C-alpha cells in the first residue's frame, strides 16, 4: 500500500516534472532563439528602410543639384548679362513698333466705325420720318374711317327710322283698306237693304194697285193689257201707275183661263232679274268666269305663229280672263303673252327655274302662276309683277305636273320620283307625301278628289283627306294628259295608245273614245284639252296637226295642219272660247281662231 | 491548465531568427543587402516571406525573376514542412541566426513543390488537418465544421491570430473522456539521414491495459534506435518545437499541446552533436 502511494506521488511529481521541463525548455528556447534577436532584427529592418528611403531621396535630389550648379556657372559672366539685356531692349523696341502699328490700325477701325455710325444714324432718322409719315396717314385713315362709320351709323338710324315709318304707313294703309272694305260692305248692305226695301215697297204698291184695279173692272182686251204690263215693268215703275190700276180688277175672272199664268211669270221674272243685278253689282271687281255659257268657236285658221322659246315648248295655259297666255319651255322660262287683236305680244318672262318647265297653271283668280320644273321644284310667281313668290322643293325627281287645289291655298304636285306631294301655300311646307307607285305624268283636281295619270297606264283617284287611293282605272297606254270639263263631271285623258277618252266621273266608265287617222301621241307629256263648254276636245299630234273632235257627235270636227313642223306638246283653249293655242317640240307656238 | 495555455502560447509564438541572403550567382543591379526576419515556427516558408521577396526584387532585374525558393547549406527547403521542423531538422546545431540562401533561378524540380500562391498552402494545410482528424476522430469533427470554420482556421494561421485559431482548433482537440484520448495519435517522425521523408504509423494514446502511452513508448515502437541503450552514449536528439521533451511525457498530452496547427505532432530525430 505504501509502495503504491509512493508510486502515485512519484507519478504526480514526474508528471509535473515533465510538464515543467517542457515549459522551461520552451522558455529557454525562446530566450536563445527569439528574445536575443528580436530587437536586433527590428533595428536592422528600420535601418534598411531608412537607407532605402535615403537612396530614393538622393536619386530625386540629383537633378536639382545639377541645375544649381549650372546657374552658378552663368552668373559670373557680366558680358553675357549685358548682351542679354541688349537683346531684351531690342525685343522691347520691336514690341513698341508693333504696338504702334496696332494702335494705328485700331484708330482706323474707330474711324470707319464712326462713319458707319453716322450712316446708321442718318438711316434711323430717315426711318423715323417715314414712320411718322405712316403714322400720320394711318391717323388720317382712321379719322376717315371714323367719319364713314359715323355716317353709316347715321344712315342706319335714318334707315331704321324710315323703315319704322314705312311699317307704320303700311299698317295705316292696311287699316284704311280694312276700314274701306268694311265701309264698302256696309254700303253694299245698305244698298241691298234699300233695294229690298224698294222692292218691298213696290210690291206693296203693286199689291195695292192690283187691289184697287180689281175693285174697278174695265172692259179691256186682256192681251194688250199684259203687254203693257210687261213693258211697264221692264221700263220702270213710274209708267206702271196707270195700266196696273186697270188690270187687277180683271184678274179673278181670268185665273181660270190661261192669261194669269203669263202675268205671274212676268212678275217673277222681274224679281229674278232684280236679284241678279244686285249680285253682279257686288262682285264687280273680280274677274268672272263665263265658263259654260262662253261662246265656243271651233278654230279654223292660224292667226299668229311665233317663236315662243329657245328650244322645246312644253306647256301652255290661258289665264282665267283669257287675256293672258303663259308658255313654258326647256329654256327654263315661263313667258307671258297678251292676246291683242289676233296677235300674241310678249309681256314678260318669269325666271327662277333651274331647268325646263313641264307644266303651267294659273290660279282661279288669275293672279298667281304655278309651274312645275325638271329641277325637282315647283314655283309660284305673281302675274302682275313677274316676281317669284315660292319655291317648293322636296321631290327627288323631275316634277311633271303641279296644280292648284280649288281653294287656291294648296297645291298638288306629281313627280317622276313616283310620289305626289300636297303643299300648303300659307306655311309653304309639304303637308303630305303619297307614294303613287309610278311616275306621275299629269294631275287634275276636284273639291275632294285628286286624279293622277301615271306611267303605268293607270289613272288614280285620291281622296285628299285620307291620302288613299279611292279607285283606279287602267287604260291601254301610258297616260300623258288629264283635263276636266267645266262641271267637273267628265275627265279627258290622252294615252300613248293614241286614244283620247272621256271618262264619266259619276259612273266611272269610259264614255267616249276619240281617234283619227294620223293622230299620234307625240310624247309622254302630250297635253290635250276640253273646250270651255265641254263640247269639243282638242289634241295635237306627233306630226304637228291639231285635231278637234265634237263630243256630241263623237266625230272628228276639224284638223289643222301646215303650221307646226314638229310634234305638238300641248294645247290650251281660252276660257272665252275664242282662241286655241298649241305649242310644239320646236320653238313655235300657234294661235288659232275661227276668223 | 494555466500552464497548458502558456505552453500553447509559447508553441504558437515560437520564432527563429533568420538571415536571408541572395545566392551569389544571381545577377543583381545593385548590391543585395541581407534580410533579417524572425520566422514563426508553426508557419510555412512561402507564407511569411513576402517581405523577403519584395526586398530582393528591388535589386533584381525584372526579366530574371522566377519562382523564389530557399536553400540551406545545399539543401533545398521544402515549404510544405512547418518552418520549425525545417530548422530543427537541418539547422538546430548551427549558430543563430539561421542563414538561408534565396534563389530565383534553377528551381529544383525534383526536390521541391511549386507554390504559385497562398491557396496552394491553404489546400495543403487543410488536407493535413483533415488527415489528422481522420486519425483522431475518424474525420467526424472536421466534417461537421462549416466552410467558414475551415476558413477561420486558415485565416488564424495566415494572420498569426492565436485566439482566432484556437477558438476553432479546440474542437479538434476534444476527445471522449471514457476513452482517455484520441483514436490514434497523428504524428510524423523526421530524420536527416533517410530516404523516407518521414515515418507515420497508427499509434494509440492508451495501451490495451489502460496505461497512457508515453513518448518513449511511441519511439520504442516506431523508431527503437532513438532510445539510448543502457548506459550508452546518447546518439540521437528527439526534438519537438526546438526542445527535447522527456520520454516519459504522455503522447496524448503532447498531441494536444505540442502539435503544429496542422494537428500533427512533428518529431525531428537528429544526430546528437559529437563534442
pLDDT tens sequence across A87-124: 999 999 999 999 999 999 999 999 999 999 999 999 99
Q: Do B26 and B90 sit in the same domain of this protein?
A: yes
Does the residue B7 lie in any domain?
no
Task: Find the farthest-apart pair of alpha carbons in chain B and give their distance in angstroms, rounded.
Answer: 68
CATH number of the CATH domain containing B147: 1.10.246.190
Closest in A14, A27, A51 to B248, CB measured: A14
Q: What's the pLDDT band for B275 if we cut at 50, 70, 90?
A: low
Q: Do B168 and B186 sit in the same domain of this protein?
A: no
Phi and psi at B175, nearest 5°, equal -155, 155
- Confidence (pLDDT) at A235: 47
Rg (CA), chain B: 20
Of A224, A229, A269, whose CA–CA distance to A245 is shortest? A229
Q: Which residue has the higher pLDDT, A249 or A220?
A: A220
Nearest chain B residue to A22, by CA:
B245
Does the residue B8 lie in any domain?
no
B5 touches A at CB < 8 Å: no
Task: Give A-chain residues touching B5 at CB under 8 angstroms.
Answer: none
Q: Do B122 and B148 sit in the same domain of this protein?
A: yes
d(CA A340, CA A585): 25
A22 touches B at CB < 8 Å: yes
d(CA B80, CA A549): 152
Q: What is the DSSP letter of A498?
A: T
How many domains does one find in chain B? 3
Burial call A486-509: b when 16+ CB within 10 Å, e when fewer = beeebbbbbbbebbbbbbebeeee
Of B213, B80, B7, whose CA–CA distance to A27 is shortest? B7
Of B96, B109, B118, B154, whose CA–CA distance to B46 is shortest? B118
Does the residue B214 lie in any domain?
yes
- ipTM surpassing 0.90, yes or no? no
Percent of chain A at pLDDT exceeding 70: 82
Nearest chain B residue to A41, by CA:
B36
d(CA A442, CA A432): 18
- Confidence (pLDDT) at A230: 45
B137 touches A at CB < 8 Å: no
Phi and psi at B161, nearest 5°, equal -105, 100
Average pLDDT over residues A418-424: 91
Q: Do B151 and B190 sit in the same domain of this protein?
A: no
Range of the domain at B39: 13-103
Does the residue B48 lie in any domain?
yes
d(CA A59, CA A65): 11
CB B249 within 8 A of CB A18: yes
CB A365 within 8 A of CB A374: no
Closest in A18, A27, A52 to B246, CB measured: A18
Q: List CB contacts of A486: < 8 A, sequence separation 6 or more.
A: A291, A292, A530, A532, A533, A534
d(CA A378, CA B9): 132
pLDDT digits (tens, 9 = 90+) for A423-472: 998 888 888 898 888 999 999 998 888 999 999 999 999 988 887 888 88
Rg (CA), chain A: 65
A26 touches B at CB < 8 Å: yes
Does A239 score more than 60 pLDDT? Answer: no
Does the residue B109 lie in any domain?
no
CB A303 within 8 A of CB A559: no
Residue where a domain terminates, one of B127, B156, B174? B174
Dihedral sign, CA of A246, A248, A253, A258?
positive
Does A323 score more than 80 pLDDT? Answer: yes
CATH number of the CATH domain containing B211: 3.10.20.90
Q: Do B89 and B142 sit in the same domain of this protein?
A: no
Distances in Å between the Cα of A254 and the Cα atoms of A73, A243, A251, B199 are 195, 17, 5, 199
- Confidence (pLDDT) at A242: 45
B244 touches A at CB < 8 Å: yes
Contact flag A33-B33 (C-beta cutoff 8 Å): no
- Confidence (pLDDT) at B51: 85
Percent of chain A at pLDDT exceeding 90: 45
Does the residue B138 lie in any domain?
yes
Phi and psi at A18, nearest 5°, equal -65, -30
Beta strands at A536-540 and A479-484: parallel, antiparallel or unpaired: unpaired
Q: What is the DSSP letter of B212?
A: B
Q: Do B149 and B161 sit in the same domain of this protein?
A: yes
Q: Do B160 and B194 sit in the same domain of this protein?
A: no
A53 touches B at CB < 8 Å: no
Q: What's the pLDDT band for A227 if we cut at 50, 70, 90?
A: very low
Q: Could you tell me the three cell numbers for A313?
A: 315648248
Does the residue B4 lie in any domain?
no
Phi and psi at A551, nearest 5°, equal -70, -35
Residue where a domain terminates, one of B103, B137, B155? B103
Q: Do B29 and B95 sit in the same domain of this protein?
A: yes
Cis peptide leading into B97, omega within 30 of 0?
yes
Q: List CB contacts of A204: < 8 A, sequence separation 6 or more.
A: none
Does A261 score more than 70 pLDDT? Answer: no
Q: Could you tell me the three cell numbers for B89?
A: 531538422
Q: Do B169 and B210 sit in the same domain of this protein?
A: no
B168 touches A at CB < 8 Å: no
SS3 A301: strand
Q: What is the DSSP letter of A31?
A: I
Does the residue B6 lie in any domain?
no
CATH number of the CATH domain containing B59: 3.10.20.620
Contact flag A33-B15 (C-beta cutoff 8 Å): yes
Q: What angle do CA A48, A49, A52 make, to 5 degrees?
A: 85
Does A334 score more than 80 pLDDT? Answer: yes
CB A464 within 8 A of CB A470: no
Q: What is the DSSP letter of A367?
A: S
Which pairs count as long-range contacts for A464-473, CB under 8 Å and 24+ apart, including other chains?
A: A464/A405, A464/A422, A467/A422, A467/A432, A467/A434, A471/A508, A473/A503, A473/A508
* Number of separate helices (H) and strands (E) present in chain B: 10, 9
The structure's pTM equals: 0.41
d(CA A273, CA A234): 10
pLDDT digits (tens, 9 = 90+) for A146-164: 999 999 999 999 999 999 9
Chain B nearest-CA distance from A56, in A, is 12
Q: Do B165 and B250 sit in the same domain of this protein?
A: no
Query: DSSP H helical segments within B35-117, as ranges?
Result: 45-48, 50-57, 83-91
Q: Could you tell me the three cell numbers for A124?
A: 434711323
pLDDT digits (tens, 9 = 90+) for A6-35: 444 455 555 578 888 888 888 888 888 888
CB A410 within 8 A of CB A494: no
Does A174 score more than 70 pLDDT? Answer: yes
Average pLDDT over residues B89-118: 85
Average pLDDT over residues A237-260: 45
d(CA A217, CA A361): 65
B243 touches A at CB < 8 Å: yes
Residue where a domain terminates, one of B103, B132, B160? B103
Contact flag B7-A22 (C-beta cutoff 8 Å): yes
Q: What angle do CA A39, A45, A49 make, to 5 degrees?
A: 145
Of A467, A435, A438, A437, whose CA–CA distance to A450 is shortest? A467
Distances in Å between the Cα of A283 and the Cα atoms of A174, A288, A384, B259 are 21, 8, 21, 159
CB B222 within 8 A of CB B236: no
Q: Do B18 and B72 sit in the same domain of this protein?
A: yes
d(CA B203, CA B221): 9
Q: What angle do CA A408, A409, A412 make, to 5 degrees?
A: 85
Q: Could you tell me the three cell numbers for B15?
A: 520564432
DSSP strands (E only) in B134-264: 187-191, 198-199, 236-239
Does A265 score more than 60 pLDDT? Answer: no
C-beta neighbour count of B189 within 10 angstroms: 21
Distances in Å between the Cα of B266 and the Cα atoms of B181, B187, B257 are 18, 6, 12
Contact flag B17-A36 (C-beta cutoff 8 Å): yes
Amino acid at each position: 500500500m505504501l509502495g503504491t502511494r509512493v508510486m502515485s506521488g512519484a507519478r504526480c511529481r514526474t508528471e509535473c516534472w515533465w510538464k515543467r521541463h517542457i515549459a522551461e525548455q520552451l522558455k529557454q528556447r525562446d530566450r536563445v532563439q527569439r528574445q536575443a534577436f528580436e530587437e536586433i532584427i527590428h533595428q536592422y529592418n528600420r535601418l534598411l528602410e531608412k537607407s532605402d528611403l535615403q537612396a530614393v531621396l538622393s536619386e530625386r535630389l540629383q537633378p536639382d543639384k545639377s541645375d544649381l550648379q549650372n546657374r552658378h556657372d552663368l552668373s559670373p559672366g557680366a558680358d553675357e548679362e549685358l548682351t542679354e539685356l541688349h537683346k531684351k531692349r531690342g525685343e522691347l523696341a520691336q514690341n513698341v513698333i508693333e504696338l504702334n502699328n496696332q494702335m494705328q490700325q485700331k484708330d482706323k477701325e474707330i474711324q470707319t466705325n464712326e462713319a458707319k455710325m453716322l450712316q446708321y444714324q442718318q438711316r434711323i432718322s430717315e426711318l423715323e420720318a417715314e414712320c411718322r409719315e405712316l403714322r400720320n396717314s394711318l391717323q388720317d385713315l382712321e379719322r376717315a374711317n371714323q367719319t364713314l362709320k359715323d355716317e353709316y351709323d347715321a344712315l342706319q338710324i335714318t334707315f331704321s327710322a324710315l323703315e319704322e315709318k314705312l311699317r307704320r304707313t303700311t299698317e295705316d294703309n292696311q287699316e284704311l283698306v280694312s276700314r274701306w272694305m268694311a265701309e264698302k260692305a256696309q254700303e253694299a248692305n245698305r244698298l241691298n237693304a234699300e233695294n229690298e226695301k224698294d222692292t218691298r215697297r213696290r210690291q206693296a204698291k203693286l199689291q195695292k194697285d192690283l187691289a184697287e184695279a180689281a175693285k174697278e173692272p174695265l172692259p179691256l182686251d186682256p192681251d194688250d193689257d199684259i203687254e203693257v204690263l210687261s213693258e211697264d215693268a221692264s221700263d220702270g215703275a213710274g209708267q206702271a201707275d196707270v195700266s196696273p190700276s186697270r188690270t187687277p180688277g180683271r184678274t179673278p175672272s181670268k185665273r181660270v183661263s190661261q192669261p194669269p199664268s203669263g202675268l205671274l211669270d212676268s212678275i217673277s221674272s222681274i224679281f229674278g232679274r232684280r236679284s241678279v243685278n244686285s249680285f253682279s253689282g257686288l262682285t264687280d271687281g273680280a274677274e268672272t268666269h263665263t265658263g259654260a255659257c262662253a261662246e265656243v268657236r271651233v278654230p279654223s285658221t292660224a292667226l299668229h305663229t311665233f317663236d315662243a322659246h329657245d328650244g322645246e315648248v312644253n306647256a301652255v295655259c290661258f289665264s282665267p280672263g283669257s287675256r293672258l297666255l303663259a308658255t313654258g319651255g326647256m329654256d327654263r322660262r315661263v313667258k307671258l303673252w297678251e292676246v291683242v287683236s289676233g296677235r300674241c305680244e310678249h309681256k314678260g318672262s318669269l325666271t327662277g327655274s333651274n331647268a325646263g318647265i313641264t307644266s303651267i297653271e294659273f290660279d282661279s283668280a288669275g293672279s298667281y302662276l304655278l309651274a312645275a320644273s325638271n329641277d325637282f321644284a315647283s314655283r309660284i310667281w305673281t302675274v302682275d309683277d313677274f316676281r317669284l313668290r315660292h319655291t317648293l322643293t322636296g321631290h327627288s325627281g323631275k316634277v311633271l305636273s303641279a296644280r292648284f287645289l280649288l281653294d287656291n291655298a294648296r297645291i298638288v304636285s306629281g313627280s317622276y320620283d313616283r310620289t305626289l306631294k300636297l303643299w300648303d301655300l300659307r306655311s309653304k311646307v309639304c303637308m303630305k307625301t303619297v307614294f303613287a307607285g309610278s311616275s306621275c305624268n299629269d294631275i287634275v283636281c276636284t273639291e275632294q278628289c285628286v286624279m293622277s295619270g301615271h306611267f303605268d297606264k293607270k289613272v288614280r283617284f285620291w281622296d285628299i283627306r285620307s291620302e288613299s287611293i279611292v279607285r283606279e282605272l287602267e287604260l291601254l297606254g301610258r297616260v300623258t294628259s288629264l283635263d276636266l270639263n267645266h262641271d267637273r263631271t267628265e275627265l279627258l285623258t290622252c294615252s300613248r295608245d293614241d286614244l283620247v277618252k272621256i271618262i264619266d266621273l259619276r259612273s266611272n266608265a269610259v264614255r267616249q273614245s276619240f281617234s283619227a287617222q294620223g293622230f299620234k301621241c307625240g310624247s309622254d307629256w302630250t297635253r290635250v284639252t276640253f273646250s270651255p263648254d265641254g263640247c269639243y276636245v282638242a289634241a295635237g299630234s306627233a306630226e304637228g296637226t291639231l285635231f278637234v273632235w265634237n263630243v256630241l257627235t263623237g266625230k272628228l270636227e276639224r284638223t289643222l295642219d301646215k303650221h307646226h313642223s314638229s310634234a305638238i306638246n300641248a294645247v290650251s283653249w281660252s276660257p272665252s272660247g275664242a282662241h286655241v293655242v298649241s305649242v310644239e317640240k320646236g320653238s313655235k307656238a300657234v294661235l288659232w281662231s275661227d276668223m | 491548465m494555466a500552464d497548458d495555455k502558456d505552453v500553447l502560447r509559447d508553441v504558437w509564438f515560437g520564432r527563429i531568427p533568420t538571415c536571408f541572403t541572395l545566392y551569389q550567382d544571381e545577377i543583381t543591379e545593385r548590391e543585395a543587402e541581407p534580410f533579417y526576419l524572425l520566422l514563426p515556427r508553426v508557419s510555412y516558408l512561402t507564407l511569411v516571406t513576402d517581405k523577403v521577396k519584395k526586398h530582393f526584387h528591388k535589386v533584381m532585374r525584372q526579366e530574371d525573376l522566377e519562382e523564389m525558393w530557399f536553400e540551406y547549406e545545399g539543401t533545398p527547403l521544402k515549404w510544405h514542412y512547418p518552418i520549425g521542423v525545417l530548422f530543427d531538422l537541418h539547422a538546430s546545431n548551427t549558430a543563430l541566426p539561421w542563414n538561408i540562401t534565396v534563389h530565383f533561378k534553377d528551381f529544383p524540380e525534383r526536390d521541391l513543390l511549386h507554390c504559385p500562391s497562398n491557396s496552394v498552402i491553404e489546400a495543403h494545410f487543410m488536407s493535413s488537418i483533415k488527415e489528422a482528424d481522420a486519425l483522431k476522430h475518424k474525420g467526424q469533427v472536421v466534417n461537421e465544421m462549416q466552410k467558414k470554420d475551415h476558413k477561420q482556421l486558415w485565416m488564424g494561421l495566415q494572420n498569426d491570430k492565436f485566439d482566432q485559431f484556437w477558438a476553432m482548433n479546440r474542437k479538434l482537440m476534444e476527445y471522449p473522456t471514457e476513452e482517455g484520448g484520441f483514436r490514434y495519435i497523428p504524428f510524423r517522425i523526421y530524420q536527416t539521414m533517410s530516404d523516407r521523408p518521414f515515418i507515420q504509423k497508427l499509434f494509440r494514446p492508451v495501451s490495451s491495459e489502460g496505461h497512457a502511452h508515453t513518448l518513449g513508448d511511441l519511439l520504442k515502437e516506431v523508431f527503437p534506435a532513438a532510445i539510448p541503450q543502457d548506459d550508452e552514449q546518447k546518439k540521437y536528439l528527439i526534438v519537438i518545437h526546438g526542445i527535447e521533451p522527456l520520454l516519459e511525457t504522455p503522447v496524448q498530452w503532447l498531441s494536444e499541446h505540442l502539435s503544429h496547427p496542422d494537428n500533427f505532432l512533428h518529431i525531428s530525430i537528429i544526430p546528437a552533436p559529437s563534442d
